[in-house]
């Protein structure tokens, strides 16, 4: 088993520090060992007090772990004082394990988590040992001595930090401006840009969790680029599924990706059951010429691999309906785009199926009391996904995610009706009046 050592402070509310680190490391199948640097009295709204441990007590913990276990990787978080940095650095030099440095200077609630001279000590003693350094905007500006005001200064700051000795620098985009979270990984080979949708929420513990994911990836044998990309995937889930622990910031949920993975088998079975109902009870004339599908997404899907559907779609065979392939994650592309657009507007809406368009079908759905939205393909901009744009456009027109979204097609584009809901059971319930 990979053993990941976290050298960091304790968070009394359990949302950051070693409490978040242990959950993040465990969620990836590794074992977390701990060297505590400080105890904090804090919650999701404010930092009350810090009780730092003497450096010799911190190093005693590291020594105790190292003499008994083979450490696969190390992550440092809140070190608080220059004396602790120097003491820790001297020991980590001997370990020869990959090192992730999260240069913690401030808490998520804005309070200082360091003594004077800490940034200078990090630069001199710890950054040259690092495999990856993970500063946020404020930390990067403090360490580099330069303000980030545009893309040019962002790249300059990244290169300044890289020149301080680490093998890689990850400038985190959560504190930068823009509609997307844009992270930049600086290495000797160049800059890797990683983009994800920006989530409209502030969380407690994101930096701690991200650096722990990266350290665990390194400890499991990934190279820096692979470990950062995997950490980026996991931190999106962790933020999206953050927990309302207190009255202030949401607490990060490092177990989120693990929870999502555990949902897969049950969700695939729900889709199979719904498909069997469709095959047995839905009139075949409701199958579009391009075929029918039912797609069901994991919470906050990050792509087709997190959406379950029928590979090859459902097709009309004589007077019946049959699936043309297996039910699996990644099996749908066309309807999956609708799911992703709908889920982005309302995370509760994670399931969609499509039907052949006709005025009669649409009238029946309206008669069931369903809320209906639409879009016109003639208004579709160039170079966009029809399904994502159309779904988002219809939702914007309604002011919410409706039960049904339709369009009347265009040249070479079949008109279509799409029924949306929280899960397959709800979607089939909305079209129950169309069943045999």
**Which of these, 205, 106, 193, lies nearest to 154 by C-alpha position?**
193
Contact 77, 9 (CB under 8 A): yes
Buried b (16+ CB within 10 A) or exposed e, 253-266: bbbbbbebeeeeee
Question: Domain end: 201, 223, 254, which one?
Answer: 254
Instruction: Give the chain's domain count.
Output: 2
Q: So what's the pLDDT on residue 311?
A: 95
> Both 422 and 318 in a single domain?
yes
Q: So what's the pLDDT on residue 410?
A: 87
> Both 170 and 306 in a single domain?
no
- Whether the pTM exceeds 0.75: the reply is yes
> Both 67 and 30 in a single domain?
yes
Q: So what's the pLDDT on residue 346?
A: 97
CATH code for the domain of 270: 3.40.225.10
Contact 169, 38 (CB under 8 A): no
**C-alpha distances in angstroms, 431 versus 132, 249, 253, 378, 408?**
52, 40, 36, 28, 20
Beta strand spans in 212-341 (E): 250-251, 294-297, 307-310, 314-317, 320-323, 327-329
Q: Is 422 helix (H, G, I), strand (E, B) or coil?
A: coil
> Both 287 and 241 in a single domain?
no
Phi, psi (5° rounding) for residue 129? -90, -10
CATH code for the domain of 110: 3.40.1190.20
Going by the DSSP 8-state scheme, the letter that residue 158 receives in this structure is H
Contact 392, 360 (CB under 8 A): no
> Both 340 and 369 in a single domain?
yes
Please enumerate in sequence order all residues whose Cβ is within 8 A of that of 190, keeping only pairs 6 or more positions apart, or say none: none
Instruction: Give the H/E segment covering residue 37.
Output: strand 31-42
Q: How far apart are CA 294 and CA 253, in angstroms?
A: 29
Q: So what's the pLDDT on residue 19?
A: 97
> Both 311 and 413 in a single domain?
yes
Show the low-confidence residues of the chain (pLDDT under 50): 109
> Both 176 and 51 in a single domain?
yes
Q: How far apart are CA 300 and CA 412, in angstroms?
A: 32
> Both 278 and 215 in a single domain?
no
Q: How far apart are CA 276 and CA 257, in angstroms?
A: 29
Going by the DSSP 8-state scheme, the letter that residue 100 receives in this structure is E
Q: How far apart are CA 424 and CA 431, in angstroms?
A: 11
> Both 204 and 269 in a single domain?
no
Please enumerate in sequence order all residues whose Cβ is within 8 A of that of 27, keeping only pairs 6 or more positions apart, or say none: 234, 254, 255, 257, 258
Q: How far apart are CA 110 and CA 45, in angstroms?
A: 10
> Both 21 and 163 in a single domain?
yes
Q: Which domain holds residue 234?
A: 3-254
Please enumerate in sequence order all residues whose Cβ is within 8 A of that of 131, keeping only pairs 6 or more positions apart, or say none: 98, 99, 100, 166, 167, 168, 218, 224
Q: How far apart are CA 220 and CA 30, in angstroms?
A: 8
**Which of these, 74, 72, 80, lies nearest to 62 by C-alpha position?**
74
- N-terminal to C-terminal alpha carbon distance within the chain: 55
Contact 92, 131 (CB under 8 A): no
CB count in 10 Å sphere of residue 123: 18
Question: Domain end: 221, 254, 287, which one?
Answer: 254
Question: Domain end: 212, 231, 254, which one?
Answer: 254
> Both 367 and 245 in a single domain?
no
Q: How far apart are CA 374 and CA 122, in angstroms?
A: 56
> Both 244 and 267 in a single domain?
no
């Amino acid at each position: 088993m990979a053993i990941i050592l976290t050298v960091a402070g304790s968070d009394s509310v359990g949302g950051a520090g070693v409490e978040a680190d242990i959950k993040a490391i465990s969620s990836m199948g590794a074992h977390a060992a701990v060297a505590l640097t400080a105890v904090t009295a804090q919650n999701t709204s404010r930092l009350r007090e810090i009780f730092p441990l003497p450096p010799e007590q911190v190093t005693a913990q590291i020594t105790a772990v190292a003499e008994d276990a083979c450490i696969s990787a190390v992550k440092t978080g809140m070190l608080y004082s220059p004396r602790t940095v120097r003491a820790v650095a001297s020991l980590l030099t001997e370990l020869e394990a990959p090192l992730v440095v999260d240069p913690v200077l401030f808490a998520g609630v804005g309070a200082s988590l360091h003594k004077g001279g800490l940034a200078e000590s990090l630069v001199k003693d710890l950054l040259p040992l690092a495999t990856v350094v993970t500063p946020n905007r404020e930390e990067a500006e403090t360490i580099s001595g330069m303000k980030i005001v545009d893309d040019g200064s962002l790249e300059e700051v990244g290169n300044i930090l890289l020149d301080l000795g680490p093998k890689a620098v990850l400038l985190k985009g959560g504190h930068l401006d823009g509609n997307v979270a844009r992270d930049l990984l600086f290495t000797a080979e160049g800059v890797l840009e990683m983009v994800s949708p920006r989530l409209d929420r502030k969380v407690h513990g994101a930096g701690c969790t991200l650096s722990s994911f990266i350290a665990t990836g390194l400890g499991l044998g990934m190279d820096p680029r692979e470990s950062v990309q995997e950490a980026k995937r996991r931190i999106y889930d962790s933020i999206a599924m953050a927990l309302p622990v207190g009255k202030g910031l949401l607490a990060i949920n490092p177990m989120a990706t693990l929870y999502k993975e555990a949902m897969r088998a049950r969700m695939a079975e729900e889709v199979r059951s719904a498909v069997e109902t469709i095959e047995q009870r839905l009139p075949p004339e409701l199958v579009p010429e391009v075929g029918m599908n039912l797609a069901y997404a994991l919470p906050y899907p990050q792509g087709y691999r997190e959406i379950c559907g029928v590979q090859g779609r459902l097709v009309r065979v004589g007077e019946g309906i049959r699936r043309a392939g297996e039910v699996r994650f990644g099996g749908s592309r066309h309807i999956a785009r609708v799911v992703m657009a709908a889920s982005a507007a309302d995370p509760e809406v994670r399931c969609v199926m499509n039907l052949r368009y006709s005025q009669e079908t649409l009238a029946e759905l309206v008669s069931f009391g369903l809320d209906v939205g639409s879009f016109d393909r003639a208004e579709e901009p160039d170079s966009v996904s029809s399904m994502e744009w159309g779904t988002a456009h219809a939702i914007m027109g309604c002011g919410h995610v409706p039960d049904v979204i339709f369009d009347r097609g265009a040249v070479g584009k079949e008109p279509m009706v799409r029924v949306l809901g929280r899960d397959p059971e709800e979607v089939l319930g909305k079209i129950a009046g169309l069943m045999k």
